[in-house]
Structure 1
Amino acid sequence: MTEIKNFPVSSLDLDTLLSAKVKLRQEGFLDSNTKTCLDFAIQTLENFPVSKRRDVSLTLEGERQLVRFTAGNPVLQYVVRLGQKGPELHQKVPVGSRLTPSCLSESHFAGHCCRDELEGCSSQARRVLSAEIESNPSSQGELELRIVCGELRITYSTQQPRRSLYVRPHRRVLFGKTLNLEKLLETKTRLERSGEMKDGLLACFQHLLSNYSQFQDENIRVVVQGDGELMELVCGRDKYHSTQHFIYTDGQNRAHSHMVQDMELWEYE
């Protein structure tokens, strides 16, 4: 049976977690996995608002044991474990016997910068859940809803879920009428800081910046694909774009572009 080390705390603040780190080391509980997960939790939770650090629990998956911090009466449950790309923080919200759109509180998404600027992940999740309930009303008692959006991994779960709904937004960046250079560079910077800017996406952005003057029409959509990632740069309307550009990489990470024009939409420009 896995050993659980429990820490009742008032809040998951920086001082509390640093003090716990010292105590875990002294008691021999701070193995490599636990230390990595705790350091990641400290870094991540420091950016959370106070509302997401009280009435929560935090469980760290170590090599031989679990370490659990409990602050108040948890309505949010955090778990940090090592994934394929490093430590991940998962949030779980137990909703009781029925899962409805009202279970998705905006406070659960506080501090999160959604990948989709046109329709946030919380809105997408409510839409997906509402559609499921409308088509199958009896499903409310057996659902779990999983949202993965950048660093955010949150699951809403009934007591005995039998089916899962998934919401995984891809990145969509909303510009004004045209592709603004400053915001384009801000987007590039954000991708670099988050670690998403791998060789393929970088080649696409370099192609886009080098040929910036070719992407200055109004009401265009630029789709960028590389490294298994897909993102959209949207100018003008949310949809129905008169010109669409597709930028992608080949096997040697060389960027190519292709333009598609909808002549019917040009009539309404």
Structure 2
Amino acid sequence: MTLPRILSIAGSDSSGGAGIQADIKTITMLGGYAMTAITALTAQNTLGVTMVEAASPAMVAAQIDACVSDIGVDAVKIGMLGSAEIAAVVAERLGALTVPIVFDPVMIATSGAALADNETIAAFERLMALATLTTPNVPELVALGGHDGMAARGVTYLAKGGDAEGERVEDVLVVPGEAPHVMAGTRIHTRHTHGTGCTLSSAIATWLAKGLPLPEAVDRARLFVRSALRAAPGFGAGSGPLGHTEARG
């Protein structure tokens, strides 16, 4: 089987737990070839984000072009974008592709730091229309108008339930015209949850690049995240990173 090529368009996490770094680890552990278009540099660790510096839209576009024109791409994962202008240029470039696209609409880091302003969030509309799957967590889903708002857009999305209360964590896959597909598991109690959303979305993109149907790709990605949560190395004084290299795919 040809090694699936996954392009991650996201921000860099200096502490290695989320963003581009989590995506590379996930894609590699699941048997894919990881490429990157870095949208922003962040200075962060398990305690929070102390500085963010966005790349220029031209630089982001150039990175995408460099990967697509030479190595090629079988799936795309979109994470933190950094600005509305970057969101626009990403949508422009991806509009020409016919591969699965997984969009994680990153607005707030696990630590609580804001990673997208209102203008950037407004620019998400075009990306959600292009995406094979959008993966909002509880606060992101609220900011996007809730289930009603997503239904009105006609997008396919995974409503992640990790931020909700209760011992049962439910992730709901919603495909227009189909009954919601609920995937549930017992909550894993740990403070080491930094990068769960990044890991999940890049895992879904990798499984889609391997040809799995969407429900199976989501389910297998969820199992990888749960395994990585259990294998967390215990680093940092705050929300620590997952154990990607010890997780089972």
Q: Tell me the TM-score normalized by structure 1.
A: 0.24
- Structure whose CA Rg is larger: 1
Q: Tell me the TM-score normalized by structure 2.
A: 0.26
Higher-strand-fraction structure: 1
Which structure is richer in relative contact order (CA contacts within 8 A, separation 6 or more)? 2
